[in-house]
Structure 1
C-alpha cells in the first residue's frame, strides 16, 4: 500500500511538471502546430490523459471514457492530419483532471483491497503507475522542446524529489 501511495505522489508530481510546462501559455500557443505533421502541445496534454484512462480501464477496471469524443483525436495510432481540431484548453484541462481523479480512485480501491484480486492488482497497479509517470514525462520532453525552442519560453526546473533522472534527455522515474 505504501508503494502505491508513493507512486500516486509521483504521478501527481509528473502532472504538476506538465502543468508547469503549459499553464502559462496562451490558448494559441497550446494549439499551435510547428508544422503540418506535428502535434500541438494541446494534443500531447490530451494524449497523456487518454493513455492514462485506457491503461486504467484496460488493466484494472472497465469503465467508459470520460470524454468519448476525444478518444480518436488523442489516439497516437491516428495520423496527425486525420485527428481533427483540438478542443478548448478548458476542455483539455477538465479531461486531464477527470482522468487523474479516476486514476487516484482506482488505485485507492486497489490499495485498500476493495477489488476482487487485491494482491494481483497491486502488482499491476505498481507497474501501471510507473508507466503512466514515465509516459507523462515522455511527452513533457516534446512539450518542453516546443515551449523553449519554438515559442521562446524558459523551461521550469526538473521535478525535485530524488526519484527522477534523465535518460537520453528524458525524465524517467526510478523504480521505487
Structure 2
C-alpha cells in the first residue's frame, strides 16, 4: 500500500488529467449534453468533486459542504432530468479546487498524526484516496469520449505514472503497484 503523500500526488495527477480534458473547452461544450438522458461534461466535473467531499466527510471528518446548492445536482442518485441547470464553469472549477484543498488538508492531518486513531485513519485514507483517484479516472473516460467523439477535440496523453494501467479501457491506479 502507498503512503498518503504518494497517493495525494497521484490524486493531483488525476485531477490534472481531468483539467487537460476540459479546461480548453468552451463553456457551451462543458455544459452540452449529448442527449436528454445524458450528463454534460460539467456535471461529471462537479460529481467528481462531490463524491470526494462526501467520502472525506463521511469516512474521516464531518464537515459542511463547500457548496450545499450543488449537493443534489451532483448526486448521481438523482435522475438526470431532475438535477437542474449546471452552474457556471467558474463555479464548477472553484468547487473542484475547494474540495481538493479539503482532501489535502484532511489527509495531510492524518499523515501527520494530527487525528484520533492515526494508524487506523491512515489505512482508511489510503483506500479512500485510491477510490477517489479511480473515480476521477472513471469519469475522465466518459469526458474523454465526449471530448473526442462528439466534440472533435484531440485527447491529451495519458498521465505518466508507473502506478497507472488500464482495465476495461479505464485508467486505474493499482493500489499494490
- The answer to whether TM tops 0.5 is yes
Structure-1 residue corresponding to 2:11:
11
Name structure 1 gaps, 5 residues minimum. none
Deviant stretches of 4+, over 6 Å: none
> What is the alpha-carbon distance in structure 2 between the residues aligned to residue 156 and residue 138 of structure 1?
16
Q: State the shift of 1:20 in Å.
A: 0.2
TM-score, scaled relative to structure 2: 0.98
Q: Deviations over 1:8-31 (max 9, x none)?
A: 000000000000000000000000
- The count of aligned residue pairs is 176
Matched, 1:40 2:40: yes
Structure 2's unaligned 5+ residue stretches are: none
Report the TM-score, using the length of structure 1 for normalisation: 0.99
SS of the equivalent of 2:138 reads helix
Cα shift at 1:161: 1.6
Q: Distance in 2 between matches of 1:100 and 1:159?
A: 18
RMSD: 1.0
1:8-157 alignment runs, 5 A limit: 8-157=8-157
> Matched residues in 2 for 1:139 and 1:164: separation?
15
- Residue 163 of structure 1 deviates from its aligned partner by 1.1
Q: Which whole-Å deviations, capped at 9, do the CAs of 1:42-72 have from their partners, x for residues lacking one?
A: 0000000000000000000000000000000
1:173 aligns with 2:176: no
